[in-house]
Amino acid sequence: MKKYCIIPVLLILACSHKPKIEKSDVSSPILDDVKVSLYILGTVQDGGSPHIGCKKNCCSSLFEKPDSDRKVVSLGIVDHQNNKTYLFEATPDITSQLKLLKEFSNKYNETPDGIFLTHAHIGHYTGLMYLGREALGSERVPVYAMPKMREFLNNNGPWNQLVQLKNIVLKEIDHQKNISLTKNLSVAPFLVPHRDEYSETVGYKITGPTKSVLFIPDIDKWSKWEKNIIEEIKRVDYAFLDATFFDGAEIDNRDISEIPHPFIIESMKLFKDLPVAEKKKIHFIHFNHTNPLLDLDSEQSKAVLEKHFNIAAFKQVITL
């Protein structure tokens, strides 16, 4: 197995320039002991950055000079010991994300051993189209999805063609039912409230040999969830949580009630009494193109970091 000496960094991208590199609080892997690694393959909301139709300063320079680090939210998991790879979310950036996952794992195959979907919004499943005959023409890639999500993929084109041609094989997952992928790695989906037009929405608990991760890129509001997010954070070592909008002020051309998410200011208020060690577990992720946390030099980013929270970074690595 090829091993990598990768130091995780907090690399958050400004709207108009590359930010300085900051170290995160995530410890560097002890290479001889690493069995499972998690890689951040994207941090941006579904529409990407620059965002279609955006006329704001946050996008203007990026149309002329795109930033290759701006990828739609995705996680990659590598079980180094068993030479297995897993992708969480099939985003519009799947082409480069799968290449990164392959490089991190040193595998020969271009496709992962499984893809886990959270829901049927464009940034989270439409990358599956690149597995079809017009592009990769993959063979039997396992795609893990909840019942309504499986029904949606089975009964609607072009997704059902992927199933019919066996480019993908749909694998059943269910609320709170643990899936053992290898002796080192297990995954448990759980339902969260969100705009479920075509499918359910789930988050995932990902458990490695020594650490566990909560992954909730999309949820309406923490108060709508039947579970207590503070208690769920206590049960894991890292929590990658929905941070689509910093606050309502950044959305001045849409009805915010139609796109509900927990504002970062709301989450920080909810988590303000947590011990510092618990706060440091939290990594905000899934940033809208307007979100000031995409600029590490913004006052909002500095405030988040000063309060002991973290900002998820593209190519960040943690050991599970």
- pLDDT tens by residue, the chain, 320 residues: 444 444 443 333 334 333 333 434 444 344 458 999 999 999 988 676 666 776 777 656 766 787 677 788 999 999 999 999 999 999 999 999 999 999 999 888 899 999 999 999 889 999 999 999 999 999 999 999 999 999 999 999 999 999 999 999 999 999 999 999 999 999 999 999 988 899 999 999 999 999 999 999 989 899 999 999 999 999 999 999 988 877 766 666 555 665 677 888 899 999 999 999 999 999 999 887 778 787 888 888 999 999 999 999 999 999 99
Bridge pairing between strands 212-216 and 238-242: parallel
Output the CATH code of domain 23-319.
3.60.15.10
| The three-state (H, E, C) secondary structure of 123-166, written as one string | HHHHHHHHHCCCCCCCCCEEEEECHHHHHHHHHCCCHHHHHHCC
What pLDDT score was predicted for residue 258?
59
Q: Is 248 helix (H, G, I), strand (E, B) or coil?
A: helix
What pLDDT score was predicted for residue 257?
60
What pLDDT score was predicted for residue 279?
97
What pLDDT score was predicted for residue 79?
96
What pLDDT score was predicted for residue 238?
98
Distance CA 66, CA 247 (A): 26
What pLDDT score was predicted for residue 20?
37
